[in-house]
Structure 1
């Protein structure tokens, strides 16, 4: 369902209020899950009146749909160069995402995915299409260039990099890129070096 279907026509919508509410909704959900995802809690978090929310969204499910659709899932362009640099950049982007507010939201969605399968499955499909398959294309190109072995499985390699970063972030093995960018990049580089050893072409 498209967002902003609730309420009646009248004065123009203030885009700043919509942005505040979407951010507040993301924070409330990451903190409290579906059970705490109420207009009252979101209005309190956003410091806006409930009528401002009711004018824009007909129900909490409509608001959640808008939050999911508002996420910018296409990552920034990776560094162009050799595959090690590209995979290191992918690892860094993944680490930043996991440690961000959006990352907390995604982890909560993952935990509660079974409770809202239609809505959340669509979100994860967007994650796969916009992030995984774009990153996968970089690996395929590296195989074509001869940087990686023909036996390399692009899906498994990308999943290995992003999955290892996720575990590293959750276990606090990796430095936060926002506070220690140099150490975070070094860690991601070491992780990538370890993972690609088995798929480098024979010399």
Structure 2
């Protein structure tokens, strides 16, 4: 419904009271969340522990983040760089570019935090929404665009289910990254890509 000038005058915009938010507080809180995730994992993370490490009150945290899931999403959002579609002109080179880029992200200190939330995805709406929108969907869009171009160029069979092909290709990154303490290597990534292409080549 449209608002009349009279209504606007009788309902002035309220300015927030108190001091403006201090960006140092956000940095301290997200930094504490990051360290506690590494030390204790998702299950051991609490807002009280974050407040204690950051040197702020719990009320200060709840003014900005409604719960610990929001804190975790804040940490991940600051750390994860979405994967771009490289479009090199070669299916193999495209896939290697995406896979090695993902490898570097997941091997980094911040990227490793993604593996802390994977077990929580089925039961946490906020974390699942973040994973789907910022990790899985950009991955999927980039990989499936590469696969579609591979079919057009005659590098991949047209009867291959692109969604299943994407899932088969990306699963080793998540599985190995989540279960092996060692970092994923370029040699592993190259092997996965070549095995995949051996099964779908035209």
Mark yes or no: TM-score above 0.5: yes
Question: Normalising to structure 2: TM-score of the pair?
Answer: 0.71
Larger relative contact order (CA 8 Å, sep ≥ 6): 1
- How far the C-alpha of 1:29 sits from its partner, in A, is 3.4
- Tell me what 1:5 maps to: none
Question: Normalising to structure 1: TM-score of the pair?
Answer: 0.71
Kindly report which structure 2 residues correspond to 1:103-182, keeping only aligned pairs within 5 A, or say none: 103-116=111-124, 118-126=125-133, 127-170=135-178, 172=180
Q: Mean alpha-carbon deviation: is it higher for 66-75 or for 80-89? A: 66-75
Closer, same or farther: CA 37–186 of 1 in aligned 2, 3 Å? closer
**Which runs of 5 or more structure 1 residues have no equivalent in the other structure?**
1-7, 177-183
- How far the C-alpha of 1:136 sits from its partner, in A, is 1.2
- 1:174-200 CA deviation, whole Å, 9 max, x = no partner? 755xxxxxxx33432232112111211
* Contact 1:29–1:37 (8 Å) recurs in 2: yes
- 1:75-103 CA deviation, whole Å, 9 max, x = no partner? 24536231111111222123223323344
* Contact 1:39–1:60 (8 Å) recurs in 2: yes
Closer, same or farther: CA 103–68 of 1 in aligned 2, 3 Å? closer
Q: Is residue 49 from structure 1 mapped to residue 50 from structure 2 by the alignment?
A: no
- 1:109-154 CA deviation, whole Å, 9 max, x = no partner? 22123442x2233123213322212221111122112221112222
Question: Which protein has the larger Cα radius of gyration, Structure 1 or Structure 2?
Answer: 2
Q: C-alpha separation between the residues in 1 aligned to 2:199 and 2:122?
A: 36
Q: C-alpha separation between the residues in 2 aligned to 1:155 and 1:189?
A: 21
After superposition, the CA RMSD in angstroms is 3.1
